[in-house]
Amino acid sequence: MGIGEGGGGRVIGWILAVVLVLTSPIGYAQAGPKRLSDWLLERPLLTDDYPLGLSWRVRGEVVSQAEKRLSLLKSLSGADPEVTADPEVVRRASKVIFPGQGAAGQTMQALRDAGLVDVLRNLKVPFLGICIGMQILFERSEEGDTLCLGVVPGILKRFSSSQLKIPQIGWNVVKFSGDSPLLRGIPNESYFYFVHSYAASLVGASTLGVSFYGQPFTSILQKDNFYGVQFHPEKSGDVGLQLLRNFIAL
């Protein structure tokens, strides 16, 4: 989670930027780049202005999860992630990961506030969107009738089945419908871990993976240098780690 930079001698020849704005419980309006870094990496700087009113116990768990994910990315990439919301860091990056979970409208507003919308939209380096990070690649989400980045055509719609629990929480199979270096070494019809209420329909050749939850939906996509996964690879065991390795190796 967060924006991580590994530059200079810490990463050989490239920067890994991992973007997080307001997709997890931090008061972004009062937490600038330095405080975001403090919050995730140096000490648990917890703010009181997040509208969901998380308890201190839950906030502590969020800090722990963030630290674990940063440690995972560090071990996979050799990077030493540093959380930042600086558009210049993202522009300089050799690869960009946008993970997280949250509401589409809240996420897009935070990206606008950070000056990151056009930066992300115009990236020429490999980009991986995870969960909400994939959803914002589409044109629009029905969640709050939110305009997104518009990199991929399509609209995110809420699952409509009356016989299934919404959100989908748990393991689901992904059937590959295309070939990509992102999928190297991962068996077709592997199981990944999902947490979401909105999903995108199939988008032609851009859909690399299809899952089913009352209806088929895009669970992996690629358009040019933009990749997205609806599931959480960091929670998906060996196949999730392999997917992250594949992206870092692009």
Q: Which residues carry out catalysis?
A: 131, 232, 234
Please, how many CA atoms are within 13 Å of residue 29, restricted to the half-sphere of its CB?
6
One-letter amino acid for residue 216 of the chain = P
- Whose CA is closest to 185, among 231, 128, 248, 241? 241
Q: How remote is the C-alpha of 151 from its chain's centroid?
A: 15
207: β partners = 221
